[in-house]
Structures are given as C-alpha cells and as structure tokens.
Amino acid sequence: MTTFVPREVQAGLDSARLAALKSGSRLRLVANGRAHPVLRLWKSGFSLEAGSVPVLRGHADLYDGAIHLFRCLIVAFEEENGEMRFEFKRLTAVADRAAVDFEIAADAPVALIAVSDPGE
C-alpha cells in the first residue's frame, strides 16, 4: 500500500505544523538587532522558520521571554521541511552576576552593619 498526499495538502500540513511550533515556544533568537522566534531547540542547535530569516552566522543571543539564557556563536546548517537548522559553535550561559576567582563560604555575611560608638 502506498500513501500519496497531494502537494497542496502536504503544504497545508507543513504550515500547520510550523504554526503550532511557533505558538508553543517562547524562545527567541536576537541576531543583528532583529528577533526571530525559535521553533525547536536541542543540545547542539536550534531551528527557525526558513522563509522568515536570512542565513545567519556569528554571535547571537537566545532568550526565553525576557530572560537572557545564552550567548552563542552560530552557523547555518541545513534547510529541511520549512525549517532552517542552525548549529552552535559555542554556547555560553548568561550569569546574573560576575564570576569570582575565590570560594565564597556558605555562612559568609551578606552585608556589614557598622555600629557607631555611643560615646561619640
């Protein structure tokens, strides 16, 4: 038994699949000052809608809503089923504070309160 789907029906199914992927994801990639919705994300890369983005390469930022997740270096990999797949050459998590080069004790004080001398 063979399965034959007309081109128009296949195009409709592909566009419905892409619409579902876009509406289900909050991830977005910001590159060259423009934001692009991320359809899928995996360990070594991600995909964007093929018709809506140029071939990107270089530095980009990955966001989940307003939360900055990663700084990355990307290259275009391939186009498949209406998705442009990109691979990470480098993926660095964004920290909310600067890195330190010493160990911070678990019981370290968070602030120093100076007590003035009552005799002054």
Q: Which positions ≥6 away from 115 have C-beta within 8 Å?
A: none
Question: Is 44 within a domain?
Answer: yes
Residue 116: per-residue pLDDT: 74
Q: What is the pLDDT of residue 76?
A: 80
pTM: 0.64
CATH of the domain at 37: 2.40.10.430
Rounded alpha-carbon distances, angstroms, from residue 96 to 25, 60, 69, 115: 23, 18, 10, 31
| Beta bridge mates, 104 | none
Q: What is the pLDDT of residue 119?
A: 65
Burial-class residue 104 by CB neighbours within 10 Å (0-12, 13-18, 19+): exposed
Split the chain (120 residues) into runs of 10 and give each run's mean pLDDT: 72 66 74 88 89 84 90 87 89 84 85 74
- What one-letter code names the amino acid at 27? L
Report if residue 10 sits inside a domain: no
Residue 104 domain flag: no
Is 66 a domain residue? yes
Residue 32: inside a domain? yes
pLDDT score for 26: 83
How many domains does the structure of the chain reveal?
1
Q: What is the pLDDT of residue 89?
A: 93
Largest CA distance in the chain: 98
Within a domain: 102? no
- Identify whether 13 is part of a domain: no
Is residue 103 domain-resident? no
